[in-house]
Amino acid sequence: MENEWIVIEIVVVGKLVDLAVAILSDCGSSGTIVEERKLDTFIVPDEELDPTANYTLQAYFDAGVDADQIIAEVESIFASMPIFSDQEVQINAANSVRTEDWAEGWKQNFSSFQVGNHLVIRPSWEVYAPRPGEVVIEIDPGMAFGTGTHGTTKLCLELVAELLSGDEPPIQMLDVGTGSGILALGAAALGCPAIVATDIDPVACAVAQDNFVKNNYAQQIEINTKPLEELPGRFDLIVANIMAEENIRLRHGFIEHLLPGGWLVLSGILKEKEQLVVAGFSDLPLTLFPSRYQDDWVCLLFRRTQ
């Protein structure tokens, strides 16, 4: 089953697509395609979904999973959520796909895009001539993904760019759940001199390392497979683009690794769970700054006070 993935198809109404993708991610999905458009951490869509139209989601899982168990788990979660009670959700039987077939499918809709005033992200199959002051990262989606949709990573990248352009830019960054490595790469390209990118998924680490080498930032970015509680060091910037519950679970690990005066950027959080996360961090020595929003997602910015 090497280089093969299990694909589960789900048909859901447009207004629930983001939530369905988040649920699939919680159930172990490595990535989701929405018909001919991708929802992932660094893809900017060219149009909005029709909230009343039906869309087919293709969720990809490691070939070693029990597909029937995954389907049963997804069905159970949908059934427990009132928002799905008056919506028909169709879940189709699983089938398999090879890595090469999926990778080719990504090329249809991933094109160059800009974040902030200086950072441009492009795939390897496109040519982009940078303008004065721009830095370009080359990155292909591969088979490693973060949690949530495009908005979460765009929000993180924008905040990282703002912090690095400030009067006291961070010099040591920790990227928790690095996925493809896009946040670490963005920070490196924008001038952060020392970055640790961590992920417990070996596929993600391999893809991230390839991206660091390809962009000539392997010396600037260290890849680490250790869980947060086992990581050494403290940082003046921590970024975690993971799900709301995971952010809360790791809150003490974040604060232990965050230097006084350091910044904590959290995303992968649905708007409806914003206050849950804020409450989860309320007992820590952190100052909360105004939240950033895109689509159904929120990005939180904290600064350690002591």
**How much is the pLDDT for 105?**
54
CA angle, 228 then 234 then 235, to 5° = 100
Strands 235-241, 292-294: pairing is unpaired
| Same domain membership, residue 70 and residue 143 | no
| Same domain membership, residue 121 and residue 98 | no
| Same domain membership, residue 149 and residue 43 | no
Give the C-alpha distances (Å, rounded to integers) separating 141 from 106, 109, 179, 254, 282.
Answer: 7, 11, 10, 27, 35
Confidence of residue 101 (pLDDT cuts 50, 70, 90): low
Confidence of residue 147 (pLDDT cuts 50, 70, 90): very low
**How much is the pLDDT for 87?**
75
**How much is the pLDDT for 300?**
97
Given 106, 133, 150, the domain boundary residue is: 106
Structural domain that includes position 16: 4-106
CA–CA separation, 15 and 13 (whole Å)? 6
| Same domain membership, residue 267 and residue 131 | yes
| Same domain membership, residue 272 and residue 171 | yes
Given 59, 83, 106, the domain boundary residue is: 106
| Same domain membership, residue 129 and residue 90 | no
Whichever domain contains 8, its CATH number is 3.30.70.120
**How much is the pLDDT for 266?**
97
Give the C-alpha distances (Å, rounded to integers) separating 230 from 226, 239, 256.
Answer: 6, 17, 11
Average pLDDT, the chain: 82
Q: What are phi and psi of 300, to 5 degrees?
A: -105, 140
Out of 10-24, 109-123, 145-159, 227-241, least confident range: 145-159
CB 259: neighbour CB atoms within 10 A?
Answer: 15
**How much is the pLDDT for 139?**
78
- Please say if the pLDDT value at position 40 is more than 60: no
> 269-300: per-residue pLDDT in tens?
888 899 999 999 999 999 999 999 987 789 99
- Please say if the pLDDT value at position 172 is more than 50: yes
Domain count, the chain: 2
Confidence of residue 102 (pLDDT cuts 50, 70, 90): low
Given 44, 76, 106, the domain boundary residue is: 106
- Please say if the pLDDT value at position 39 is more than 50: no
| Same domain membership, residue 94 and residue 129 | no
> 190-231: per-residue pLDDT in tens?
999 999 999 887 877 888 888 899 999 999 999 998 889 899
- Please say if the pLDDT value at position 268 is more than 60: yes
> 69-80: per-residue pLDDT in tens?
888 888 888 888
